[in-house]
Amino acid sequence: SQTIHQWPATLVQPVGSPLSLECTVEGTSNPNLYWYRQAAGRGLQLLFYSVGIGQISSEVPQNLSASRPQDRQFILSSKKLLLSDSGFYLCAWSHPGLAGRPNEQFFGPGTRLTVL
Amino acid sequence: GDSVTQMEGPVTLSEEAFLTINCTYTATGYPSLFWYVQYPGEGLQLLLKATKADDKGSNKGFEATYRKETTSFHLEKGSVQVSDSAVYFCALARGVLSAGNKLTFGGGTRVLVKP
């Protein structure tokens, strides 16, 4: 069976510090990978997605970046955190699917980031 | 562009009450529709899905029917429990491979079930 891991589970960082959040998927190959952010009491905002190693698509301009150095590893980074980067970060994966026949996404447990 | 609209919460119910969460969508073609549930402090879990018109998704006593004519996918449960307290997200996907099979989410509906 497939599993998705995220770490750390919680993180408190000062403004201006760097960030690295990691997500790994087990039990599947060539998944689509996604990073979402959920601000307190708000919905989900898609930040990045990737359909293959080294391929990253950005959905919103921001001071965050993503990388996919391996097939089942997805990293979210920042060089300098802002207060507005606080939130709950969720990683997700899906099978690539077929055109017009999308597959569901499976979510990790999330990382709660507080920027002070 | 694609969009999903959910009723705003919070929805507060007593145990064993009937729950309905409305969801309507705007999308071209024939999207697949999903309901996800998020328990406090956790990630999202797929609750149910439907891939074509008139399909009924069901799981854990929850049901939703894909209504193409009304572009709706309302979630229902006949008798809720305290453990159903969570945030519920409606979502759609059109399976555009060039766009990574992205999901479009509604804003979420918080449900609180009181004993």
Model confidence over A21-78: pLDDT tens digits?
999 999 999 999 999 999 877 788 899 999 999 999 998 878 899 999 999 999 999 9
Q: Do B102 and A46 touch (CB under 8 A)?
A: yes
pLDDT at B101: 79
Q: Rounded to whole angstroms, how far apart are CA atoms A115 and A19?
A: 10
The residue of chain B with its CA nearest to that of A5 is B43
Distance from CA of A62 to the nearest CA of B (A): 19
Q: Rounded to whole angstroms, how far apart are CA atoms B63 and B54?
A: 12
Tell whether the model's pLDDT for residue B58 goes beyond 70: yes
Q: Rounded to whole angstroms, how far apart are CA atoms A100 and B29?
A: 9
Distance from CA of A104 to the nearest CA of B (A): 8
Tell whether the model's pLDDT for residue B113 goes beyond 70: yes
Q: Does A21 touch chain B (CB under 8 A)?
A: no
Chain A residues inside the 8 Å CB shell of B42 = 109-110
Please name the residues between 54 and 93 in chain A that touch chain B, using a CB distance below 8 Å. Answer: 57, 90, 92
Confidence of residue B15 (pLDDT cuts 50, 70, 90): very high
Tell whether the model's pLDDT for residue B114 goes beyond 90: yes
- Range with the lowest mean pLDDT among A51-65, A79-93, B52-66? A51-65
Share of chain B above pLDDT 70, in %: 97
